[in-house]
Amino acid sequence: MTTIGFIRHGVTAWNKEGREQGNTDIPLDEEGIEMAERVADRMEQEEWDVIYTSPLIRARRTAEIIAERLPSAEFRIDKRLVEVGGGVAEGTTELERLEKWGASWKELDLGFEPEDVTFSRGMSFIERVKQVHSGSRVLVVSHGDLIGRLIHALVPDGEFLKDVDNASVTIIELQESENLCHLYNCTKHLEGEKV
């Protein structure tokens, strides 16, 4: 039985502005670093064997902050964990997309990464984790769209009504018959004052 803890990276300036990030390499802002430190405080209280991260700086920096608290965990970068590519929409807000391409912009070919490609690379990563880290506890630091799609693929009958928040934790237990989601989009570590 392998356990995967999905962590979305801390917040960025583009998150706050509602800009499509995709594969654009936007760093954490000051609040994002604080969020990463808080999730690291939480993970430090738990046992994790390995940390995988997207190579994009916002996820990688979040993972590095966590790794500082988990020195015995292996640290690996995997390009399959990058965010879903946003094509020419990257860097734009919803309002800018409406102004530029109109109300039906989602129906246009703007170069978004095809869903089957996203699914294939994401599930390829999951299968590799199952092979290499069977019985282990694996942290995966990645991006909102990709994490959301992986969660829905792993637990298709789950009722996940909202997108995953920045610096949230979701824990899924991979089993032979049916995967179990023990925790979804938890951000309790971000509440209150940091001590």
**Domain assignment of residue 9, yes or no:** yes
Q: Give the global pTM.
A: 0.95
Q: What's residue 193's pLDDT?
A: 62
Percent of the chain as helix, strand, coil, to the nearest 5: 40, 20, 40
Q: What's residue 164's pLDDT?
A: 96
Largest CA distance in the chain: 51
Is 83 known to be catalytic? yes
Average pLDDT over every residue of 23-34:
97
pLDDT tens digit string along 58-82?
A: 999 999 999 999 999 999 999 999 9
Distance CA 44, CA 155 (A): 26
β 180-186/169-174 pair status = antiparallel
Distance CA 97, CA 104 (A): 10
Per the prediction, the chain carries an average pLDDT of 95
- State the residue range of the domain holding 53: 2-190
Can you read off the two tokens belonging to residue 63?
């993972």
- On the question of pLDDT at 194 being above 80, the answer is no
Q: What's residue 177's pLDDT?
A: 87
Q: How many domains does the chain have?
A: 1
- DSSP three-state, residue 180: strand
Can you read off the two tokens belonging to residue 117?
């490609």
Can you read off the two tokens belonging to residue 89?
């929409």
- DSSP three-state, residue 159: coil
pLDDT tens digit string along 139-155?
A: 999 999 999 999 999 99
**Domain assignment of residue 44, yes or no:** yes
Distance CA 79, CA 182 (A): 26
**Domain assignment of residue 195, yes or no:** no
Is 189 known to be catalytic? no
**Domain assignment of residue 124, yes or no:** yes
Average pLDDT over every residue of 10-21:
97
Catalytic residue among 9, 133, 143, 189: 9
Residues comprising the binding site? 8-15, 58
Q: Domain containing 141 — which CATH number?
A: 3.40.50.1240
Residues comprising the binding site for substrate? 8-15, 58
**Domain assignment of residue 48, yes or no:** yes
Please name the helix (run of DSSP H) or strand (run of DSSP E) that holds residue 125, with its range, or none.
Answer: helix 115-132
Catalytic residue among 20, 83, 90, 113: 83
What one-character-per-residue DSSP string does 38-77 give? HHHHHHHTS--SEEEE-SSHHHHHHHHHHHHH-TTSEEEE
Region of 146 on the Ramachandran plot (φ > 0 left; ψ -120 to 50 alpha; else beta): alpha
